[in-house]
Structure 1
Amino acid sequence: MDFNFSEHQSFILSDRTFLNIVRRDIGKLAEAAGFTETEVGRVSLVVTEMSTNLVKHAGSQGGELLVKTICQENGVTCGIELLCLDNGPGMSDPQRMMEDGVSTFGSMGQGLGAIKRQSDFFDIYSQRGVGTVILSHIYRKGKAPKSAARSEQRFQIGSVLVPKPGEKVSGDGWGLRLSHQGAYLLVLDGLGHGEHAHDAARVALQAFGQQPKQVPSEMLRGIHNTIRRTRGAVGALAHWNAEASTLSFCGIGNISGRLLAPDKSKSLLSYNGTLGMSVPNTINDQQYSWERGNLMILHSDGLKSRWDLSKYPELSRHDPTLIAAVLYKDNTRTTDDTLVVVVRATE
């Protein structure tokens, strides 16, 4: 398998007393990932500014930091991803708020600008009445992805994966396998939550990585036969072919999916059943057009299904991880593991 993605750690900040604890714990995560003292300092500065913003602006509405290591190659961590989820009033002009000295709170107004300067990659979405989400990537020296390589990709992909509160691991998971024309994406939800659900998803992802690259329905059936000794999982598998401008999709169980084009939205329908337990005798692939600018959003039932992207003007133009984070912020159920994966066609 080309990519198998890790979970986010969630840090809830309801007041300033948690700021030092959060900064310490994330600093230890950076140290364990091989960051130098100077690089850990950059991470701590971003965490401090994000946390301070949450305490100031989210207040009783609540705020959350999501953190994970990124770009793991042969066990080596290349960077850290930080997401700041602010349920406060939001900003009407976030770009202006990033100018030093501009503030809506009467402070010196250096927070957003400092976060952007310390980040190797930065994105922000804010809207009055919706709140603010900030995305920051900080890489170890020499480990940042080359911008040329990013521009040559035929798609962009991002995710948010958060275990149920109180659990250390997630029963949700996803994996990506590249092909000459595009990629295969598997999104999973192991039944229940906790260790057994996590094991079911892990075994299914391993099976996905070993399957011959066929149509999604055949690969799902192979995964189904491989994970019979687990508690089972629901899953959806998509294959996009950029050269042919097609998307093939097949799902078993309640992984929700939606394909969004500039002028329309389509639900991606799945069969009833559970991988590893029972699937229909006949399953077929759905075929869709896959063109530049299309978005595909897949998520587990930890996310409410009645989200509406039109509630967020211009959000579809942002980084896929930031899109996933905004949907998570406003629609997570908090009673289960939550996974949101967003894919954008770039050609």
Structure 2
Amino acid sequence: MDVKQHQRFLIPDKSYASIAKREVTRIAEGIGMSANGVGKLNIVVAEMASNLSKHAALGGELLVRVLGAPQPGIEVICLDSGPGMADPSKMQEDGVSTLGTAGEGLGAIKRQSDVFDLYSQQSVGTVILSRIFLNNKTTPGAQAASHYDVGYVLVPKPKETLCGDGLAILEHEKGVYLLALDGLGHGASAHEASQLAVQVFTSSPALLPADALRNIHQSIKRTRGAVGIAANISTRSNRLSYCGIGNIAGKLYGPDGSYGSSSYKNIISYNGILGHNIPTTLNSQELEWGRHRMLILHSDGLKSRWDLSKYQALNRHLPSTIAALLYKDHSRQTDDALVVVCRSKP
């Protein structure tokens, strides 16, 4: 998967909608999206901004990223901590409104989207995800070979343009390789460290996770350094193998799919900093993988005290939506933020 960072647009009130539309249009035209696709995207952004101004007293934000192969396009995620909806499915029907308006907003977003997901819960707020592709043709064999749904949120520190966190997602016929990173600090130097680590990892992804981190450690010594977790999920053995260095966290949920507070195992990392100091002895750890299991990894841009049991029916939603929920409710807003969610397809 081609990983791109999200661009963040704060929408404190409806006057900011035109700024967001203009910038999203520029991004879409920059990747060659057709006038028809840009038109759909403008409708999506306008309706999202309108919903924020009507229903979220404190406004909200849009996260926008370019989608790479196998289906290039644009992803827009709308976040708010407003009152939430009692019946999200009903609110997607045209003509249904809580404010006496035309009630076309969510329905319009869904119609324009190639992929649409809506999570809303009273006292939690709302996440709306829309993806619009350049075309509807997938790279041949890409979907057939995919055994996993992987989604993420990757956002720079407020007022920064480059994200110091990094991510690699490499799916193959035997499973999927993941690397979640946090370059020390933020800005250009942190970005340089994390991106060099990603390049090193993707050049030799089949290494055992502990060996992959040793390789990264040797290769980024002239950078600021980073912390990270390397993981390999094997389709054949149904095992998760991982190794972590430093202050980066993870949880493995399952196999009951309940996401309760007692249904996960913590992903434990060694002390150290890649590129500076790591333990002499590093071992990859293994946990059982299988249907209904879900892995969440995140940088310290996310507060550690989060609990999935507060969110209803998460198993019905996309991994990117789950990542966005965690970002919305637990981001520190003082650092780069990475949340990646991986689970097996049904």
Equivalent residue number for residue 224 of structure 1: 217
Aligned residue identity for 2:77: L
Equivalent residue number for residue 54 of structure 1: 52
Equivalent residue number for residue 112 of structure 2: 118
Aligned residue identity for 2:223: T
SS of equivalent to 1:328: helix
Normalised TM-score (structure 2) = 0.95
Structural mapping, 1:15-54, within 5 Å:
15-54=13-52
Structural mapping, 1:305-320, within 5 Å:
305-320=304-319
> Contact 1:316–1:323 (CA<8 Å) still a contact in 2?
no
Counterpart selection for 1:209 from 199, 202, 205: 202
Equivalent residue number for residue 100 of structure 1: 94
SS of equivalent to 2:323: helix
Query: 2: distance between equivalents of 1:316 and 1:7?
Result: 25
Residue 334 in structure 1 maps to residue 333 in structure 2: yes
Q: Offset of 1:17 from its aligned partner?
A: 1.2
Task: Please list every run of 5 or more consecutive structure 2 residues that lacks an aligned counterpart in the other structure.
Answer: none
Aligned residue identity for 1:235: G
Query: 2: distance between equivalents of 1:229 and 1:339?
Result: 23
Normalised TM-score (structure 1) = 0.95
Equivalent residue number for residue 123 of structure 2: 129
SS of equivalent to 1:161: strand
Q: Offset of 1:142 from its aligned partner?
A: 4.0
Stretch deviating more after TM superposition (254-263 or 286-295): 254-263
Stretch deviating more after TM superposition (162-171 or 26-35): 26-35
The CA deviation string for residues 288-329 of structure 1, in whole angstroms up to 9 with x for no partner, is: 000111000000000011110001011133100000000000
Query: 1: distance between equivalents of 2:28 and 2:84?
Result: 29
Aligned residue identity for 1:47: V
Residue 66 in structure 1 maps to residue 69 in structure 2: no
Residue 159 in structure 1 maps to residue 136 in structure 2: no
Q: In angstroms, what is the RMSD of aligned CA positions?
A: 1.5
SS of equivalent to 2:57: helix
Query: 1: distance between equivalents of 2:76 and 2:203?
Result: 32
The CA deviation string for residues 81-131 of structure 1, in whole angstroms up to 9 with x for no partner, is: 000002110001111001000011211100000000000000110001101
Aligned residue identity for 2:101: S
> Contact 2:177–2:205 (CA<8 Å) still a contact in 1?
no
Counterpart selection for 1:257 from 250, 254, 259: 250
SS of equivalent to 1:103: coil
Aligned length: 340
Residue 291 in structure 1 maps to residue 285 in structure 2: no
Decide whether aligned partners of structure 1 residues 143 and 9 sit closer, same or farther in structure 2, where only a CA change above 3 A counts: farther
Stretch deviating more after TM superposition (325-334 or 35-44): 35-44
Query: 2: distance between equivalents of 1:266 and 1:205?
Result: 26
SS of equivalent to 2:38: helix
Q: Offset of 1:158 from its aligned partner?
A: 0.3
Q: Offset of 1:178 from its aligned partner?
A: 2.8
Q: Offset of 1:141 from its aligned partner?
A: 2.5
Query: 1: distance between equivalents of 2:311 and 2:143?
Result: 26
Decide whether aligned partners of structure 1 residues 82 and 232 sit closer, same or farther in structure 2, where only a CA change above 3 A counts: same
Q: Offset of 1:214 from its aligned partner?
A: 2.0
The CA deviation string for residues 143-195 of structure 1, in whole angstroms up to 9 with x for no partner, is: 4567x853652111000000000100000010022333101100000000000
Query: 2: distance between equivalents of 1:212 and 1:66?
Result: 29
> Contact 1:89–1:128 (CA<8 Å) still a contact in 2?
yes
Query: 2: distance between equivalents of 1:206 and 1:71?
Result: 17
Aligned residue identity for 1:267: N
Aligned residue identity for 1:318: H
Equivalent residue number for residue 138 of structure 1: 132
SS of equivalent to 1:259: strand
> Contact 1:83–1:133 (CA<8 Å) still a contact in 2?
yes
Query: 1: distance between equivalents of 2:27 and 2:207?
Result: 39
Query: 2: distance between equivalents of 1:72 and 1:28?
Result: 20
Query: 2: distance between equivalents of 1:228 and 1:97?
Result: 53
Identity across the alignment (%):
51
Aligned residue identity for 1:328: Y
> Contact 1:174–1:186 (CA<8 Å) still a contact in 2?
yes
SS of equivalent to 1:107: coil
Aligned residue identity for 2:313: E
Query: 1: distance between equivalents of 2:61 and 2:21?
Result: 13
Q: Which runs of 4+ in 1 moved over 2 A?
A: 141-146, 148-152, 177-180
SS of equivalent to 2:74: strand
